[in-house]
Amino acid sequence: MFGSIIGIGFICGSVCSLLPHFFSSSFSLGNSFLSACKTLNLVAGDSQPMVNAEYTHAWGTRLLVGLPVGLPSAKVFDNRNAIAEALRVSPDNLEIRYDDGLILDIITQPMPSKVPYRAGTAYRVCVGVNKRGEPRYYDFDGPYPHLLIGGISGGGKSVMLRSILTSLAQGPAPELYLCDLKGGVELGIFRGLECVKGFATELGEVLQVTTKIEAEMKRRYSVMAANGSQSWAGNKAVLVVDELADFKVRPGDPDRVIKAAIKTKLTNLSAKGRAAGVILVLATQRPSADVVDGLIKTNIAASICFRTRDDTQSRIVLDHNGAADLPDIPGRLIFQTAHDETLQGPFLTAEDAKKIIAGLPQREEVIRHESYTDQAEPMDGNSLEL
């Protein structure tokens, strides 16, 4: 008997915070909203909006609001900044949407500065959690092909690539082609995986790896043409580049020919890859017009943008300002697909990633690439044997 009373008490304690406070004295945010509506003349004649429920969550408060006939929700959206001020939160921390009634999320708790890695499902890879603690995913099989990752040094690009690759390797294990111009320091832990079909640490190898994935794309197109299909139904192929700026051609650059060849292949892959299941993930700490070439950018529909140095860099990645104003917190990012959302990216150390992928199928022999300088002839798709 006593146990069951404790049990009921415990259950009440756990769920009460999610119950609406219809009559309680803690109705203050709802009241503040209603008085803001009066001040801002958000009324329809004598009728005012009504707060139907106020829920308390770990992240803040949700108000469910009924609008009187004659007061369009657009008018409330237009007054978001003034309402935020009345509720004493920054406009970024007031989310308003219409879903069979008006929903106001007033975020009063700061986002965590560290969130753990979580494996995705199939091609859906977790890229962070939003202000309400909800996980968000980039879907390699979704409508937004190719991913651009930008932001300052130390922002969290390589950690994000680590999470993405760990999740893909744990899941559908697409063919992975990895280019790590930092000598393999960042992506080296994945090198031995069976699903890794190419691994480059210098320019000549990058040309070979991009040539190889381009050849794979062409092969897939011929199979599709033979089958009369318009898109590749099999396994995806993912090309990851950690740091795109390494292909930037400088005046008098002795590597300009090879860099230009790599850029041409990346452009080609970004334009034609999607239907063949070939997806690019390109990371750069220097998002400038000459690094993120206009042609490539046009074909990339999803972005992850950590803090940028200035508005110009933000505009290259997101097409608008905003990323320069992100707080100086590693892993804090703006995720852009159909719309933007601020997230805290998952944190995964190299040691933890190694443990997760340790049990996955490994290749027996090391991937070998012929040195670029040893090549008398330009390489073709067959020159890279794994």
Q: How far apart are CA 166 and CA 117, in angstroms?
A: 10
Query: Does 259 belong to an annotated binding site?
Result: no
- Using CB under 5 A, count the residues that bind Mg ion: 2
| Residue 166 binds which entry of Mg ion, ligand ATP, none, CB below 5-8 Å type-dependent | none
Cβ-based nearer residue to ligand ATP, 158 or 211: 158
Which of 157, 197, 236, 307 touches ligand ATP by CB under 6 A? 157
x-or-dash string of contact with ligand ATP, 85-124, rule CB under 6 A: -----------------------------x----------
Ranges within 118-157 binding Mg ion (CB under 5 A): 157
Find which of Mg ion, ligand ATP, none residue 159 binds, CB within 5 to 8 Å per kind: ligand ATP
CB of residue 186 vs Mg ion: minimum separation in angstroms? 6
Q: Which does 66 bind (CB under 5 to 8 A by kind): Mg ion, ligand ATP, none?
A: none
158 is in an annotated binding site: yes
Contact partner, 153, from ligand ATP, Mg ion, none, Cβ < 5-8 Å per class = ligand ATP
Q: Is residue 347 a contact point for ligand ATP (CB under 6 A)?
A: yes
* Residue whose beta carbon is closest to ligand ATP: 331
Full 3-state SS string of the chain? CHHHHHHHHHHHHHHHHHCCCCCCCCCHHHHHHHHHHHHCCCCECCECCEEEEEEECCCEEEEEEECCCCCCHHHHHHCHHHHHHHCCCCHHHEEEEECCCEEEEEECCCCCCCEECCCCECCEEEEEECCCCCEEEEECCCCCCCEEEECCCCCCHHHHHHHHHHHHHHCCCCEEEEEECCCCCCCHHHCCECCEEEEECCHHHHHHHHHHHHHHHHHHHHHHHHHCCCCCCCCCEEEEEECHHHHCCCCCCCCHHHHHHHHHHHHHHHHHCHHHCEEEEEEECCCCCCCCCHHHHHHCCEEEEECCCCHHHHHHHHCCCCHHHCCCCCCEEEEECCCEEEEECEECCHHHHHHHHCCCCECCCCCCCCCHHHCCCCCCCCCCCC
| Window of 156-164, 203-211, 223-231, 376-384 that interacts with ligand ATP by CB under 6 A | 156-164
Residue 21 or 286 with smaller CB distance to ligand ATP: 286
* Residue number, 156 or 277, with CB nearest to ligand ATP: 156
Residues 321-340 that bind ligand ATP (CB under 6 A): 330-331
- CB of 157 vs ligand ATP, minimal distance in Å: 3
The 157-176 site mask, x for binding Mg ion (CB under 5 A), equals: xx------------------
Q: Which does 120 bind (CB under 5 to 8 A by kind): Mg ion, ligand ATP, none?
A: none
- Cβ-based neighbour number of residue 309 at 10 Å: 16
Interacting span for ligand ATP (CB under 6 A) from 244-252, 256-264, 270-278, 341-349: 341-349
**Nearest to 249, CA basis, from 297, 298, 203:** 203
Q: Residues in the site for ligand ATP, rule: CB under 6 A? A: 114, 151, 153-159, 285, 330-331, 345-347
Q: Provide the binding-site residues for Mg ion, judged by CB under 5 A.
A: 157-158
